[in-house]
């Protein structure tokens, strides 16, 4: 199977899953349920949704600024306009193909700025490693703050799976085989003089050099400050959206964090979170006494607002990229 066909099938499956989740939820809704959801859309205070969108854009501004600090140790200077446009094009690409954003973000700058793709991609991987650690911290903080509510829910879901010894054995066997294959492949790349091994080794070294930019950064404080601003913006925009309804505005901060993390996980699991994001957010809000129909409507409003913002700003970025690179390059800022 070709790589292109595999990617197309992957996207098609993810989109099909999203549409299935939408159908699966609405198929059993009564006329009253549908009316309640429609009324929730009509009664939402979209002023707060607009504020949330503005904060979302600000988070991407912080991300574009942060990228500068991992590029500098590699001697790569790219102006802010190009960095921001590349970041938004990356988010736009993620809506079309899973995990293509990081690649697109680097590929477009490699094309316009004539910089090594591997080094650019390495800096993005380094950023993502930091972001993953922050996400894990947010998840742990959420569990600590809401242990009484979330703990029982998680254990009720895990216990049947933990009791199944066959599932444990299969999972352990797959993990062992995966580790063995990874070790054999790594040793082959280290020792072989085959043309393909040399090519991959060269690309890996460029990637590693990009990741090491975290160690070489002179302005570590600025990097981690912008990291904090990015994640504070993420959480703040999600919290602000809760003000769109009187009922959701009463959800405690721990519940906001819980729905934030659940929403993020659904975006990873299903293409752009289509169909899954509203269900994920609704499932968390149910634990906090929010009506199912209202929770579902809120999830859709939040998802549509984020998606439309990425589509609009992303397509604008695609259009302006050739324009901002038609003039002589300015100093990075």
Q: Are 18 and 276 in contact (CB under 8 A)?
A: yes
> Is the model's pLDDT at 190 over the cut of 70?
no
Predicted pLDDT of residue 19:
65
Quick one: average pLDDT of 20-43?
76
In whole angstroms, give the CA distance from residue 105 to residue 109: 7
Q: What is the pLDDT of residues 164-176, one digit of tens each?
A: 555 556 556 766 7
Quick one: average pLDDT of 27-44?
80
Nearest to 120 by CA among 84, 67, 62: 67
Least confident range of 28-42, 197-211, 224-238, 245-259: 197-211
> Is the model's pLDDT at 206 over the cut of 60?
no
In whole angstroms, give the CA distance from residue 240 to residue 256: 10
Nearest to 256 by CA among 142, 153, 133, 136: 142
Greater model confidence, 234 or 144? 234
pLDDT bin (cut points 50, 70, 90) of residue 177 is confident
Q: Give the list of residues 6+ apart from residue 167 with CB closer than 8 angstroms, or none.
A: 161
Q: State which H helix or E strand residue 78 sits in.
A: none
Predicted pLDDT of residue 161:
47
Residue with tokens 């209202």: 294
Instruction: Give Rg (Cα) of the chain.
Output: 22
Is residue 277 exposed (0-12), middle (13-18) or buried (19+ Cβ within 10 Å)? Answer: buried
Q: What is the pLDDT of residues 116-172, one digit of tens each?
A: 888 888 888 888 888 888 888 888 888 888 776 665 555 554 455 445 555 556 556
> Is the model's pLDDT at 235 over the cut of 90?
yes
**Would you give the distance in Å from CA 2 to the centre of its chain?**
27
HSE-up of 125 (CA within 13 Å, CB side)?
16
Q: What is the pLDDT of residues 279-329, one digit of tens each?
A: 889 989 998 889 999 999 999 999 999 999 999 999 999 899 888 887 655
In whole angstroms, give the CA distance from residue 259 to residue 236: 13
In whole angstroms, give the CA distance from residue 326 to residue 82: 12
The structure's pTM equals 0.76
HSE-up of 322 (CA within 13 Å, CB side)?
3
């Amino acid at each position: 199977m070709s790589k292109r066909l595999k990617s197309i099938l992957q996207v098609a499956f993810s989109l099909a899953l999203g549409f299935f989740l939408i159908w699966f939820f609405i198929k059993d809704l009564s006329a009253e349920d549908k009316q309640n959801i429609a009324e929730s859309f009509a009664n939402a205070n979209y002023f707060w949704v607009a504020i949330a969108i503005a904060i979302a854009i600000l988070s991407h501004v912080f991300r574009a600024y942060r990228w500068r600090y991992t590029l500098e140790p590699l001697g790569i200077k790219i102006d802010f306009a190009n960095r921001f446009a590349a970041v938004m094009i990356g988010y736009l690409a993620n809506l079309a193909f899973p995990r293509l954003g990081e690649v697109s973000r680097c590929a477009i700058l490699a094309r316009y700025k004539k910089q090594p793709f591997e080094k650019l991609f390495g800096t993005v991987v380094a950023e993502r490693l930091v972001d993953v650690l922050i996400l894990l911290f947010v998840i742990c903080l959420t569990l600590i703050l809401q242990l009484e509510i979330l703990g029982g829910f998680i254990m009720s879901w895990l216990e049947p799976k933990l009791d199944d010894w066959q599932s444990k054995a299969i999972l352990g066997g797959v993990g062992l085989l995966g580790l063995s294959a990874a070790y054999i492949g790594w040793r082959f790349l280290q020792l072989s003089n085959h043309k393909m091994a040399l090519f991959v080794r060269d690309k890996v070294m460029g990637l590693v050099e990009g990741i090491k930019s975290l160690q070489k950064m002179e302005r570590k404080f600025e990097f981690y400050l912008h990291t904090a601003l990015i994640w504070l913006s993420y959480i703040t925009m999600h919290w602000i959206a809760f003000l769109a309804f009187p009922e959701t505005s009463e959800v405690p901060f721990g519940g906001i964090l819980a729905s934030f993390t659940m929403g993020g996980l659904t975006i990873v699991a299903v293409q752009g979170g289509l169909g899954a994001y509203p269900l994920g957010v609704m499932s968390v809000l149910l634990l906090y006494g929010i009506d199912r129909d209202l929770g579902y409507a809120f999830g859709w409003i939040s998802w549509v607002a984020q998606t439309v913002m990425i589509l609009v700003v992303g397509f604008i970025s695609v259009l302006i990229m050739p324009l901002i690179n038609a003039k002589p390059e300015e100093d990075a800022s």
